[in-house]
Structure 1
């Protein structure tokens, strides 16, 4: 099929990264097309509209920094904005900068093949359109490919089944119903705490107990917003120079130099803040020192136990098989108190695994649970699923899905050897795939991509890709840092352990947003040394 259009760049995805990437490339004078399977902008915040969905990042950190006018005119309503508020924000950005005219909605990219003869990417969609582009940029988000476990009898259940990442825009009526939730990760926690008081009966199917920290989420008034705006210049700088892309950084002190009383006082202060500070603004040793990690873990366990009335229930909900911070730590609002309700039951599916779905509900190894609605909070094929979910083929027709089924490889999560002019955001081996306040790292990556393309234009060059040596060097560096931490020892989506057959390797770069950003800047300063430019 002949292409219907030629453009400078195609962007896949109209979420936080895709909108900003479009803005940057259009400002550089490029002709750009954006494709998104959704009917509106938002990415993650379009699809994940389940009950209780909100970010764990502070609103004044979960935003764009490229426009002072945007910063001045947008008024955040809460300390931790809900899904609907972030969706409104991203729609405002799309309107404010007239981005929609270059976005094609309700259209999924099926294939993208590199054509060596023309030096173009040939992109085809599910609507039959084909486009040729010099540059292909994926802005798919690290958590964009939902996992639906292959439960036997899935099709026989006569009630309603819904995945949190594909929640209907019209909502789901849960009032007075028997509801089952499978999964107690960040998403499951938000759903459970939100619907417990609404449903007739809630059955939670838990495989792994998780640490979670209480969220303190006041609403903002004009005085609060004015105080925050006065800090915006400092925050803009801080988020790019901390470990996790927030304005708060890890404690510079060595935990071992403090007395147990001093450490305890620090933990209590951070816990009471009602944010992620205990994790990403506390003792750095939480990531690599077993003794300090256990001290912090037991501190959080104590807090969890104190909030649950039934000691037997508490023991099911207190994590003991991994240390605090080695899995994703969510925030919660009265999550643990939900299990004090008479209408909430917890099923340990490690002890009694789910055997199948039935017409009436879910059967485990020891009983059957009658249900009207089953909610799958079963997570994602993180980091890789968005990119392997369609047919990307690089030089010599090599398919990325085939390559990554053997070994996941990227250079800094930005490019992949063998795929010229393919740029990726949120891909493996960058902080954006796991260990970062998403807008910070996505803007960082988008800026690098835009600057790289501008460099090629100025130099009159056509293509860029990392050399095999450059890619291996970054992977070795990534793996060396990962091995110094406790995180790879814990099974989670951080390491791909939630997907059968996926390579077990830490997906997110653990060296810190600040170090990663400096490495990106160094590459630009050295004229993209280690990249083949033609």
Structure 2
């Protein structure tokens, strides 16, 4: 590639040297990190990955809880690189964590990336050197890397959230966080088990543990408006038949709002009759996945009346599956707990049937909260001590921002990003930030991240990062840096879009509201993937919103 250094064949074992010089360092070995590494090495750069885990996969390395599986369906949830998909077939529509880890092994081997990845390497500090115009990155083991480009692809779900329950250190049973299960798993058969939290993870865990534990107590604060997954096996013959049009399918994912080709007819609810509406909703319900949420009427996230009718339809479907009236009232209340879609809907298979089992008990945390942990289990505010062999914390993550603010990433003035974002996230294009030259983010705050098919957003951003670096070399640019006014505008535009929706009515991790002390703000770009990619390309073409520094003449 003209203008780019070709140092991809540097000799020596870079994994053992205490000091390493690279063109680019990618932090994170999930979908975002692996794809970005692939793109950078295509440019001829000496690029490497540092991954905290023992293997690739990102969230799919850490998530080993019973029932852990992706809620984006294949063929959309995978790399669109032909070399990877042509010899790979999935076993089911929504793959589980074991299969996803095998897929990462396949992808890294196919793309010849294994020699450029180091595991069990935790980044703890990143500083930009003004003299050399390079990043200095330190690891927990004391190693140091310098690189011209720093790409943070640490994922949206890495930093685990542990609520500060009083007395939790006194508990003598087994305490597990959903993202920290032992590799060998945990045997729930015959145990008395508690699951605290009912987000996507909690729903998946309940579906499995309810079938194993002698009794299961589910602590929930907000009922999950879960949608039908419609899981099914997928044969190799079926997938091979459709691989002829995979490239057309993948192109379509980047031309739609959510990164999956769920097309809406573009109508508002008041433009259709009740009969037409119910026919449409039955069709979307039968499709499963996120179709009911993402292919619905155009005003479903703007109009409270439309959203309330959607909830009524959902509630009728769910109530028909639950016999126990008290449980029905709790998990499918007559009044919506929040507008449908303003928290990420979970996809369930038999969650409501599991909830209805006699061995499953529900505790409504809004009316009977957790007072403290004790040696035997959990004491609730009514004074009852619930005894458990195992307690599972399905309490989620410091999502979207946590992995970026927890690695000691400092700006030109030595101010940690955690401090810079304390009063609100500021990025330009959701990929760069003021004070952080040549630092790029993938699957990041203020991008379509949590409101999209993850791999689609990741490939869009990975391509854009590669385009920026290539353009820098072609134009003799040494550094680019987001201008503060551009970041202010990007953040303000997102919050302005947010105020026109129903999102502000709900305390969700979309809004950063699941973490005490975290600023409440919309953390996602809301105009969709197609618009996001177009706007970013236009800005990069003219370096709009960037401070650009050219290389000094020799």
TM (norm. structure 2) is 0.94
Matched, 1:460 2:490: no
Residue 327 (structure 2) aligned to one of 313, 317, 341: 313
SS in 2 for 1:137: strand
Q: Is the 8 A contact 1:7 1:134 kept in 2?
A: yes
* Residue number among 29, 32, 41 corresponding to 2:47 in the alignment: 32
2:425 pairs with 1:411: no
CA distance in 2, matches of 1:430, 1:286: 21
Cα distance in 2 between the residues matched to 1:291 and 1:46: 41
Aligned counterparts of 1:359 and 1:17: Cα–Cα separation in 2 = 41
Deviation at 1:203, TM superposition (A): 0.4
Partner residue in 2 for 1:61? 76
Larger CA deviation: 310-319 vs 127-136:
310-319
Residue 415 of structure 2 corresponds to which residue in structure 1? Answer: 398
| Alignment partner, residue 393 of structure 2 | 376
Q: 1:422 aligns with which of 439, 456, 461?
A: 439
Correspondence for 1:105? 119
Alignment counterpart, residue 303 of structure 1, candidates 313, 317, 335: 317
Instruction: Output aligned runs, 1:324-343, within 5 Å.
Output: 324-343=340-359
Which of 245, 251, 263 is 1:237 aligned to?
251
Following TM superposition, the consecutive aligned residue runs of length 4 or more in structure 1 with deviations greater than 4 angstroms are none
**CA deviation after TM superposition for structure 1 residue 353, in Å:** 0.8
2: CA distance between counterparts of 1:210 and 1:403? Answer: 33
Q: What secondary structure, in the 3-state scheme, does the structure 2 residue paired with 1:25 have?
A: helix
Aligned length: 530
Q: 1:322 matched to which residue of 2? A: 338
State the distance in 2 between where 1:3 and 1:453 align: 27
Kept after mapping to 2: 8 A contact 1:179/1:372: yes
Task: Answer yes or no: is 1:493 the counterpart of 2:500.
Answer: no
Alignment correspondent of 1:167: 181
TM-score (norm. length: structure 1): 0.97
Q: 1:131 corresponds to which residue? A: 145
Give the direction of change, closer, same or farther, for the CA distance of 1:451–1:3 in structure 2 (3 Å limit). farther
Q: In structure 2, how many angstroms separate the alpha carbons of the residues matched to 1:10 and 1:166?
A: 26
Residue 380 of structure 1 and its aligned partner are, at CA, apart by 0.8
5+ residue gaps, structure 1: none
| Counterparts of 1:529 and 1:222, CA distance in 2 | 46
- Please name the residue that 1:520 is paired with: 536
1:213-251 per-position Cα deviation (integer Å, ceiling 9, x unaligned): 111111112331133313312211110011110022333
Give CA-to-partner distance per residue, 1:411-448, whole Å, 9 cap, x none. 1210001111110112211101x111000001100110
Q: Who is 2:12 aligned against?
A: none
Identify the residue that residue 4 of structure 2 maps to in structure 1.
none
Aligned to 1:533, the other structure's residue is in SS state strand
Matched, 1:194 2:208: yes
Q: Describe the SS at the equivalent of 2:179.
A: helix
CA contact (8 A) 2:28 2:153 kept: yes
Secondary structure, counterpart of 1:463 in structure 2:
strand
* Corresponding residue of 1:85: 99
Cα distance in 1 for residues equivalent to 2:525 and 2:448: 5
Provide Cα deviations, 1:26-69, integer angstroms capped at 9, x if missing partner. 1111111211110101101100111001111111000111x223
Q: Which runs of 5+ in 2 are unaligned?
A: 1-16, 550-554
Q: CA deviation at 1:3?
A: 7.0
Alpha-carbon distance in structure 2 between the residues aligned to 1:415 and 1:117: 21
**SS state of the match for residue 394, structure 1?**
coil
**Aligned equivalent of 1:50:** 65
CA contact (8 A) 2:84 2:111 kept: no
User: Does the CA contact (< 8 Å) of 1:60 and 1:228 recur in 2?
Assistant: no
Do the aligned partners of 1:3 and 1:122 also contact (CA within 8 Å) in 2? no
1:177 aligned residue: 191
Is the Cα contact below 8 Å between 1:3 and 1:132 reproduced in 2?
no
Q: CA separation in 2, counterparts of 1:79 and 1:516?
A: 27
Deviation (angstroms), 1:170: 1.0
Q: Please name the residue that 1:273 is paired with.
A: 287
Q: What is the alpha-carbon distance in structure 1 between the residues aligned to residue 30 and residue 265 of structure 2? A: 32
45-54 or 224-233, larger mean C-alpha shift: 224-233
1:190-219 Cα distance to aligned partner (Å, 9 max, x none): 000111010111000001101011111111
Answering whether residue 516 of structure 2 is matched by residue 504 of structure 1, we say no
Instruction: Give 3-state SS (helix, strand or coil) of 2:137's partner.
Output: strand
2-structure distance, mates of 1:251, 1:503? 36
Query: d(CA) in 2 for partners of 1:233 and 1:331?
Result: 27
Structure 1: distance between partners of 2:510 and 2:312: 22
Aligned match of 2:6: none
Once the two structures are TM-superposed, the CA of residue 474 in structure 1 deviates from its matched residue by: 1.3
CA contact (8 A) 1:209 1:317 kept: yes
- Could you tell which deviates more after superposition, 470-479 or 411-420? 470-479
